[in-house]
Chains A and B, each alone.
Chain A
Amino acid sequence: MAPKKIVLRFGPDISDKPIIYRLVKDYDLVVNIVKANVNPQKEGTMVLEITGGQVEGGMNYLRDQGVQVQALTQDIARDEEKCIMCGACTAICPTGALYMERPSMEVRFDGDNCVVCHLCLKICPVKAMEVRI
């Protein structure tokens, strides 16, 4: 069975809990951490590949802990023509995939760091961010 790829988002209140340990121990899942950005007292994100018999149970456990769980089946892209490089997304993007290059103050998008949280779609003033499936 192909591993399921998911994105987890943690609030600052739960970023210090041993959530992945419980996922492995209690639900017997094989977990491969593709990307992780988790720091104490801060919002965190993680991309996981998981396999095992109790994937659904594990997902329910995560949601019960207050973790936002989302399947990673989409890509986010930037319409370079539309983007006016204002920067409004750069302090919102949770992983720094959208960032400002200094000192030019140009906005860059690094899709490899994107966890498809859709926040940029919501807040981009010129709707330059798009979902590609």
Chain B
Amino acid sequence: MEKSYAEINAKIKSGKAVVLTADDFVSLAEEKGLAAAARQVDVVTTGTFAPMCSSGAFLNLGHTAPRMRMQKVWLNGVPAYAGIAAVDVYIGATEVPEDDPLNTNYPGEFRYGGGHVIEDLVARRPVRLEAVSYGTDCYPRKELDTTITLDDINEAFLFNPRNAYQNYNCAVNLGSRTIYTYMGMLKPNLGNAHYSTSGQLSPLLKDPHFKTIGIGTRIFLGGGVGYVAWHGTQHFPSIQKSPDGRDLGPAGGTLAVIGDLKQMSPKWLKGVSFAGYGASFAVGIGIPIPILNEEIALYAAAADRDLYAPVVDYSEAYPSRTPGNLGYVSYAELKSGKITVNGREVPTAPLSSYPKAREIAGILKQWVTEGKFLLTEPVQLLPSPADGIAAKALKG
């Protein structure tokens, strides 16, 4: 059985495409068998809504009269990078105000950062814009203090260099004091375990070999339509193996994504704060997977019990960059509320919202079903586990 993108799109346009969320496809494949499920279903929709650092937006603020070559820019007090052009800036998700107390009163609160600025813009709330410059013959203005809204500025597009992590560590704390990490608050002596993917609903867990998700893939991004721009930074796709050689599902892939901020929604782009760590940004992403053949169906049918996360100690191993882990746990175990680590039962909690991931997969399903959202064949596929890309270590 082989289907083409064109055949699937023709079915979408005529309202005859069969579209299922990844949750429902897992159940269908279990019930009817993989071959039947692959024949019956054209598109499987995935979803994830979780903190995704390495996000931000390019803004073109427009020109004042007289003109200004903005050298330093702040949005609601948060520095934006202005070293691009006269009025182009990039507001990064993890940037915090220069007067933020940071961790001086540990653990710091990090109540507001670049992600919150983007959320405020998308929510059409007014944002204070301050800029300074040294003045040139063609750009004489030296100071600016004004207010903008998303509709007042020229372009605003989200461009997130690393989103939708294929898989992620399950974080624990083997130490004797509470620690505050980007994986949340971790209680001492294996007090809790935090994980952060949507498991069987998560986009890249359902395409382990990057057979369908590539450059140009149209996606749900922040409540609107976006595209996969490139592979993300730190894209090191691989297939995890147990000590006895069993396949434990994929890990390591990431996506760089892009989309027009003006058609996105504050419901799916949220500034977030991690006590003691910093500010970040929760992004909603949904990716459709075309069921082109039975192999792709097999990957899309992977269930929580087939997909595993490595358990990593964040008190010592992670900060010191010590390789290895404390074993693997399945997403079925993680979702049950407890796992066993070093012989101890540990309560689990996610940082990735499963109800919101399910909602995104449902919205994307609706868009495709209604014929509003056609699938795109990648302009180029992304590096896959077969390419064997390994992370480089920084000396210093």
Contact = CB atoms under 8 A, between A and B. Distances in A.
A12 B337 CA distance: 21
B341 to A, nearest CB: 13
Contacts of A52: none
B187 interface: yes
Given A103-B335, A125-B272, A126-B272, A87 B107 contact: no
Given A92-B185, A92-B187, A122-B107, A87 B350 contact: yes
A51 interface: no
A85 interface: yes
Contacts of A100: 337, 349
A70 interface: no
Interface string A110-133: 000000000100110111000000
A71 interface: no
Contact of B192 (A92, A106, A122): A92
A87 B111 contact: no
Contact of A87 (B271, B273, B280, B351): B351
A91 B193 contact: yes
Q: Which of A89, A103, A104, A126 has the most CB of B within 10 A?
A: A126
A20 interface: no
B272 A91 contact: no
B354 interface: yes
A105 B354 contact: yes
Q: Which of B185, B191, B354 has the most CB of A within 10 A?
A: B354
B51 interface: yes
B274 to A, nearest CB: 6
Contacts of B191: 91
Interface residues of B, number: 34
Contacts of B271: 126
A127 B111 contact: yes
Contacts of A88: 184, 194, 349-351
Contact of B353 (A85, A89, A119, A123): A85
A102 B349 CA distance: 12
A109 to B, nearest CB: 14
Interface string A78-93: 0000001111111110
Contact of B348 (A86, A91, A103): A91
Interface residues of A, number: 21
A86 B350 contact: yes
A13 to B, nearest CB: 11
B50 interface: yes
Contacts of B187: 91-92
Nearest to B272: A125
Given A100-B337, A123-B185, A86 B351 contact: yes
Contacts of A122: 107, 109, 185, 275
Contact of A86 (B50, B273, B335): B50
Given A102-B335, A106-B355, A90 B275 contact: no
Contacts of A123: 184-185, 275
A91 B273 contact: no
Interface of B: 49-51, 107, 109, 111, 184-185, 187, 191-194, 270-275, 280, 282, 335-337, 347-356
Interface of A: 84-92, 100, 102-106, 119, 122-123, 125-127
Given A87-B350, A88-B351, 14 more contacts: A84-B270, A84-B356, A85-B355, A88-B194, A88-B349, A91-B191, A91-B194, A105-B335, A105-B350, A122-B107, A125-B273, A125-B282, A126-B271, A127-B273
